[in-house]
Structure 1
């Protein structure tokens, strides 16, 4: 397992000026997956963008874990609906071109 794929939580705590309890709370609520690499709690680097979004929701909007989960679910539904709308527009365009 490559350790370059993971970022240590203590580094993230320092970088984002967050307490470890925040990351543990996200894990307990099922919003992130924390992996232990060489006895250090880490998160996969592919999830950093999602983590940053959660941190902004928490800091800027003062959302708790339940609020963060709700907002992320709503954003995912919006993305899904936008993709569906684009697909429908593309199919409709084919019929209009006839």
Structure 2
């Protein structure tokens, strides 16, 4: 079973405003679960939320910037895996 925290618990522990999490959700950057009308964060989202928290609160990046950075990192990861696949294929012909 996945560990999860309610939004209120997450905000208290990680010292973020609930509005920050709401903005992330509104911008499609993260999804929260809901049970009995209580929103919660699943453990699998903790790493992304920590990254977004640092970018926003420590580096002062706005929501649009967070989205751009996330998209660029996803593209970089995709290109990296594509390069590795091409190297693997090239090795076949050498």
CA RMSD, aligned part only? 1.5
CA distance in 1: counterparts of 2:70 and 2:58, whole angstroms: 15
How high is the TM-score relative to the length of structure 2?
Answer: 0.89
Q: 75, 81, 85: which one pairs with 2:73?
A: 75
Q: Specify every segment of 5 or more residues in structure 2 that has no aligned partner in the other structure, as ranges.
A: none
Question: Larger Cα Rg: Structure 1 or Structure 2?
Answer: 1
| Correspondence list, 1:51-66, <5 A | 51-66=49-64
User: Could you list the runs of 4 or more consecutive aligned residues of structure 1 that deviate by over 6 angstroms after TM superposition?
Assistant: none
Q: What is the aligned residue count? A: 94
| C-alpha displacement of 1:52 | 1.0
Partner residue in 2 for 1:85? 83
CA distance in 1: counterparts of 2:35 and 2:50, whole angstroms: 21
CA distance in 2: counterparts of 1:5 and 1:39, whole angstroms: 18
How high is the TM-score relative to the length of structure 1?
Answer: 0.86
